[in-house]
Structure 1
């Protein structure tokens, strides 16, 4: 376990102290495996579980005294276990928030008590005990670098001395060693998924380098071109018979002072064609030649290259001609560092390491062109030194293959505006003046600058883009990663406002803002959590952002915001009102995230359904709207429809159809529309009196979104004959016929579908005829909407099948000819419906 924590786990950089475990998918996977091992230890290895640790594992816990029950004694603010060691000391002791555990049996019990907090407890324990084996067995068993011979020494001791304690330690050490190997193997598999290139990533890197290519003195390349202009549907430019080997495309790179280079980009990396087969040489080529793939690799490789370049070490372990390409990679990194301002180190700390301008001059070699490039790079570094902000690398690595479950969602496309610097309003220059105070580093000045920035009209696009263009957006995101609560709150208030802009949303995601906001959801400060959740709700309106929230554990945290005791309270205390506000913000963020199929599943697994069901009983519209919005998004999944029915949510949805708020009515109707696919749900809607409010809402024909949801709910409910009888009683058929003209196609599809279900009964066909519904239905046959045509053709077929005057009316309106013409429609469903509709016409033709 010590080796895995030291080598595989991802720790934050420790400015002071020991650092903390980052909230990453890899760390979460490792923690879950360690938790499972510890939880099962007492049952799998009962003898080893009672072994008393050399020193107790000690950490700050989030558990209170009330969490402990049988087997523990509570004395005021202290808890101790009834089980004790040979000296009479309790094996578990909690004083204030300080927890001490002395064997695996108590550790296993504790994790079972922690329930939802077990991940946090395991994280806190491992952060406080970086090498837990030392605490468990003693310092002689600690993790060491290089060859570990502790097992051999143990074996020798067991052979020489017949000591039960040593034998027990041997067994425990082997079990922990086995866990260590499992963790390392698991982390290797996890990391290996993130190191493959894909066509989109290659194209982005090529476009980035092209922006620094040209004839100018400060460019890094003369040109960079693909060998083929043709792009296949998968984004690759390599021929299909080479794509099967993982090749993506081929590049010709022309540096300023060497011959052109031929490059192959494949899923395994970027390679220089026509070089030695020497393994070490390939390693150096692949290392220096082109782009950095992941955030970790970019940070590690980039810093190493930069240091090598600026300290004159670039040519020590590679061929001499490779010196230029090392510097080329460095310069690419430097330009990206300056442009994106997301480097995980404090730039001003480089002053002493890089030296003075005189020392820089001594680094410049005999190549004139490289000299100007290095000067440019050093100028960029020195410009960055004036900022005290700690820049963070954003994890921009995308999965090569995201589940197709999200492909049906429309990816939000940022609207590109023509940029220029003429006729800019005064607000633009005002924000520019504030920028220097925002970047100044003084907390008080920063807070004042944030307050002043909020005085501008942040809903205005000019102000939003000014914040982005001047570089304030990066600063605002970096302020979220500080320990100054006021700075964090001020930054989030601004980000919440400007994230209404599509371009800003994408920029926040690119700069790693979502990852930091997800971490803020764990903050004890309630205002901070509210603002973070609301900003996530704004940003997570496109697929990549929603995926980022899920990958960094955001779904579970957002579901956790719904878990409070204020549900159903009519008059709220100040404390309950704050809890309700937190839940509202969490529901807003879940609503945005629930447009992804994978996120819907993640919400369900995190226990979101029962919590949403509880909040659905609330009388407060401000939280009901996002809760119902989330439910209606998730109701497209069968598992959610079942849960909505079994958790008794249909009754609450029906009640809220009578709300005074149209948006809430719309989402309730939409949820019923999706859930009424099941007969049990249709019956529940009728039993709880939901058919009458749906019929009443047909009178609001001005709100087209509400009308679409209501007509959809009526359509699905009309599948049951009992509901059709009720609709006839409430004059719904007449109302639907009256809406057949001047409506959006989405509404018309639902209306025709509902009338089609009602037409199963002859009495309803008569009502449609008497209300004048046949002419507008026949007229709809000239439309182009495929779904509408299928519904309408089926409806006309049912009408024609009833014979009598209906067939004559359809024929008189040229409906039969229109039905024949639809046999040529490219949609097979339309053809099939048209054929069925024509059958009664032929059978009864004169």
Structure 2
């Protein structure tokens, strides 16, 4: 938080640029408490600003980049004056709202280009108020405008402070709309934007509840290679949050991942295994993985996969078989002992640990069956 301010009406603290965008967007309630704002006075939170500065100094961390009074603070503590640059960018941002399609196309293409070049540009474009306007352009019927707008939002999201502004601009529903119905390039960049925004834990929750997961699974199945990889990255990130795992299972992620594992032309085996490894600890996902006959596929990967694939397959099988006698019995019945024994001897260090633990579970299960 580079410029914390207190909303006088509620006493809540926000990043100045974020809350200003919220107010400028016509909102009359506090984003956190939903309390009606009787006034829109913003007071600098000097105490929090000093705490941030002290913490950065003690931990030898560079303070967040600051734009104020026409200048940007550089990493060496000096300032770079950017009045001319911000003025030029403001002119382009105003053209984003032009009634002329040609002017709008040219402006959003220029913002896309500028946002790709540097962090300073990403700061200045956000300061010029471009993000709420770009979010509106995500639903444009003009495919060129939509593609450039979603790519610009993706570029801007690289700067962490801009992630908050994008979320406050209520961008997620529009990004999901692009993900569902845009051109392939727009869908790819929408998935990449969701990945970028979902790096924040709170955002994982909001994005998961937005309908993004089914749209990402569809791209995972129907996209080109880049689209599939962007969708896989976003789904992995979202499924780190426990509440999104059930959503992904109900949206059909397990059959989609199984197809990626069994398709000989697929180049997505590692991505599929990585997502499965995150899901396998969730009870609903665990049951769905077993029902989909994934265990035989994982055992086959223990025999024939690359070292990383063997490692991930062993980790998933271990999660599936902990405290689950039926899945353990399946391992024995399907001949997993031999490849697990080989992996415990010659696999990666992590693979050795997982394989050894699985073999121990199998041994205990067999002893228990014998006593019974």
Shared fold (TM-score, shorter chain, > 0.5): yes
**d(CA) in 2 for partners of 1:730 and 1:535?**
52
1:491 aligns with 2:110: yes
- The residue aligned with 1:641 is 245
In structure 1, runs of 5+ residues without a counterpart are 1-21, 32-182, 205-230, 237-294, 296-332, 341-413, 420-464, 565-577, 742-747, 766-846
- The residue aligned with 1:761 is 362
How has the CA–CA distance of structure 1 residues 692 and 610 changed in structure 2, closer, same or farther, with 3 Å as cutoff?
A: same
1:739 aligns with 2:347: yes
Cα deviation code 1:228-257 (max 9, x no counterpart)? xxx865999xxxxxxxxxxxxxxxxxxxxx
After superposition, where does 1:403-482 map in structure 2 within 5 Å?
Answer: 475-476=88-89, 478-482=91-95
- The residue aligned with 1:528 is 145
**d(CA) in 2 for partners of 1:25 and 1:708?**
50
Q: 1:544 aligns with which of 148, 161, 186?
A: 161
Cα deviation code 1:269-318 (max 9, x no counterpart)? xxxxxxxxxxxxxxxxxxxxxxxxxx9xxxxxxxxxxxxxxxxxxxxxxx
After superposition, where does 1:783-802 map in structure 2 within 5 Å?
Answer: none
**RMSD between superposed Cα atoms in Å:** 4.3
In the TM superposition, what is the alpha-carbon distance from 1:558 to its structure 2 partner?
0.9
1:688 aligns with 2:292: yes
How has the CA–CA distance of structure 1 residues 188 and 418 changed in structure 2, closer, same or farther, with 3 Å as cutoff?
A: closer
In the TM superposition, what is the alpha-carbon distance from 1:538 to its structure 2 partner?
3.4
In the TM superposition, what is the alpha-carbon distance from 1:606 to its structure 2 partner?
2.5
After superposition, where does 1:136-151 map in structure 2 within 5 Å?
Answer: none
How has the CA–CA distance of structure 1 residues 606 and 669 changed in structure 2, closer, same or farther, with 3 Å as cutoff?
A: same
How has the CA–CA distance of structure 1 residues 23 and 674 changed in structure 2, closer, same or farther, with 3 Å as cutoff?
A: same
Higher RCO (CA 8 Å, separation ≥ 6 residues): 2
**d(CA) in 2 for partners of 1:537 and 1:680?**
33
**d(CA) in 2 for partners of 1:195 and 1:683?**
52
**d(CA) in 1 for partners of 2:313 and 2:169?**
37
In the TM superposition, what is the alpha-carbon distance from 1:622 to its structure 2 partner?
3.3
**d(CA) in 2 for partners of 1:541 and 1:593?**
9
After superposition, where does 1:391-402 map in structure 2 within 5 Å?
Answer: none
**d(CA) in 2 for partners of 1:418 and 1:548?**
25
Cα deviation code 1:292-350 (max 9, x no counterpart)? xxx9xxxxxxxxxxxxxxxxxxxxxxxxxxxxxxxxxxxxx8xx24x47xxxxxxxxxx
How has the CA–CA distance of structure 1 residues 547 and 618 changed in structure 2, closer, same or farther, with 3 Å as cutoff?
A: same
1:716 aligns with 2:314: no
In the TM superposition, what is the alpha-carbon distance from 1:526 to its structure 2 partner?
1.8
| C-alpha contact 1:493 1:531 (8 A) present in aligned 2 | yes
How has the CA–CA distance of structure 1 residues 510 and 619 changed in structure 2, closer, same or farther, with 3 Å as cutoff?
A: closer
Q: 2:174 aligns with which of 557, 564, 587?
A: 557
**d(CA) in 2 for partners of 1:235 and 1:639?**
37
- TM-score normalised by L of structure 1: 0.33
Cα deviation code 1:407-432 (max 9, x no counterpart)? xxxxxxx995899xxxxxxxxxxxxx
In the TM superposition, what is the alpha-carbon distance from 1:729 to its structure 2 partner?
5.8
In the TM superposition, what is the alpha-carbon distance from 1:197 to its structure 2 partner?
0.9
How has the CA–CA distance of structure 1 residues 24 and 688 changed in structure 2, closer, same or farther, with 3 Å as cutoff?
A: same
How has the CA–CA distance of structure 1 residues 542 and 592 changed in structure 2, closer, same or farther, with 3 Å as cutoff?
A: same
Q: 2:353 aligns with which of 752, 770, 773?
A: 752
Secondary structure in 2 matching 1:186 = coil
**d(CA) in 2 for partners of 1:631 and 1:690?**
19
**d(CA) in 1 for partners of 2:223 and 2:54?**
55
| C-alpha contact 1:692 1:730 (8 A) present in aligned 2 | no
| C-alpha contact 2:277 2:312 (8 A) present in aligned 1 | yes
**d(CA) in 1 for partners of 2:247 and 2:114?**
35
| C-alpha contact 2:311 2:348 (8 A) present in aligned 1 | no
How has the CA–CA distance of structure 1 residues 593 and 232 changed in structure 2, closer, same or farther, with 3 Å as cutoff?
A: closer
Q: 1:584 aligns with which of 159, 180, 188?
A: 188
- TM-score normalised by L of structure 2: 0.68
In the TM superposition, what is the alpha-carbon distance from 1:633 to its structure 2 partner?
0.8
| C-alpha contact 1:533 1:558 (8 A) present in aligned 2 | yes
- The residue aligned with 1:197 is 45
- The residue aligned with 1:700 is 306
How has the CA–CA distance of structure 1 residues 418 and 639 changed in structure 2, closer, same or farther, with 3 Å as cutoff?
A: closer
Cα deviation code 1:374-414 (max 9, x no counterpart)? xxxxxxxxxxxxxxxxxxxxxxxxxxxxxxxxxxxxxxxx9
1:518 aligns with 2:140: no
**d(CA) in 2 for partners of 1:738 and 1:503?**
49
Cα deviation code 1:564-599 (max 9, x no counterpart)? 3xxxxxxxxxxxxx5333322211211111111221
In the TM superposition, what is the alpha-carbon distance from 1:635 to its structure 2 partner?
0.9
- The residue aligned with 1:188 is 38
After superposition, where does 1:50-129 map in structure 2 within 5 Å?
Answer: none
Q: Which has the higher helix share?
A: 2
In structure 2, runs of 5+ residues without a counterpart are 1-19, 59-66, 367-372
Count, aligned residues: 320
**d(CA) in 2 for partners of 1:471 and 1:657?**
54
**d(CA) in 1 for partners of 2:331 and 2:87?**
58
